[in-house]
Amino acid sequence: SQKIEQNSEALNIQEGKTATLTCNYTNYSPAYLQWYRQDPGRGPVFLLLIRENEKEKRKERLKVTFDTTLKQSLFHITASQPADSATYLCALGGEGGGADGLTFGKGTHLIIQP
Amino acid sequence: DTGVSQNPRHKITKRGQNVTFRCDPISEHNRLYWYRQTLGQGPEFLTYFQNEAQLEKSRLLSDRFSAERPKGSFSTLEIQRTEQGDSAMYLCASTTGTETQYFGPGTRLLVL
């Protein structure tokens, strides 16, 4: 069955450092991978999308990599700030070219300490 | 604000009762998705509409669940004979032809 694994425990990072979150998947051939941010009691907010033929994407302090051979994505937040504290969700989609719903990981709870 | 809206934001019901949630997508978004999220888990896909047509349903969507999007605009999700295991956050998302999904704030359901 399809499986997505993210850092299973909370990740504590000191302010100003780079936070790196991991998303690994099995039994899936996504056309794209997305990262979302979710704050407590709120819906996920889209951050970045990377396609299967892309290696890296950047947006401001965010960077995502995608290795379809390793079946892994890394999500980096540089110069981290306490306001970056949230749960970050990895989501896969587009398998078989369909427009079906996204398959999400459990998320990584990121805490940026001042 | 022209984002996705969901109502109610919170719902407490007794086991066995029926509940209905509403989702208003971003205007002109033709695709609408429903997800369920329990504590400590990521959202799980339930069903998806393109305009008024329901194109995909997850095996998570039991016979007690029904969703509609009658005019291709807002959507409703009804749960009949609620069970305690139905307690969760129900999320709605919409999109155009792109892959990015825009989520609403969710409806938190508690079944007592």
Instruction: Look at residue A101 in the predicted model and tell me its pLDDT.
Output: 85
What's the pLDDT tens digit per position in A50-59?
999 999 999 9
- Average pLDDT estimate for B4-15: 97
Measured between beta carbons, which residues in chain A are less than 8 angstroms from residue B48? Answer: 99-101
Q: Are A27 and A1 in contact (CB under 8 A)?
A: yes
Confidence band for A99, pLDDT divided at 50, 70 and 90: low
pLDDT at A13 over 60: yes
Identify whether B25 is preceded by a cis peptide bond (ω within 30 of 0): no
Question: Could you give the CA distance from residue B75 to residue A71 in angstroms, rounded to a whole number?
Answer: 35
pLDDT at B98 over 90: no
What's the pLDDT tens digit per position in B20-79?
999 999 998 999 999 999 999 999 999 999 999 998 888 888 899 999 999 889 999 999
Instruction: Look at residue A94 in the predicted model and tell me its pLDDT.
Output: 80
In this complex, do B100 and A89 lie within 8 Å of one another by their Cβ atoms?
A: no
Question: Could you give the CA distance from residue A34 to residue A64 in angstroms, rounded to a whole number?
Answer: 9
SS3 string of B4-59?
CEEECCEEEECCCCCEEEEEECCCCCCEEEEEEECCCCCCEEEEEEECCEEEEECC
Measured between beta carbons, which residues in chain B are less than 8 angstroms from residue A43? Answer: 4, 91, 93, 103-106
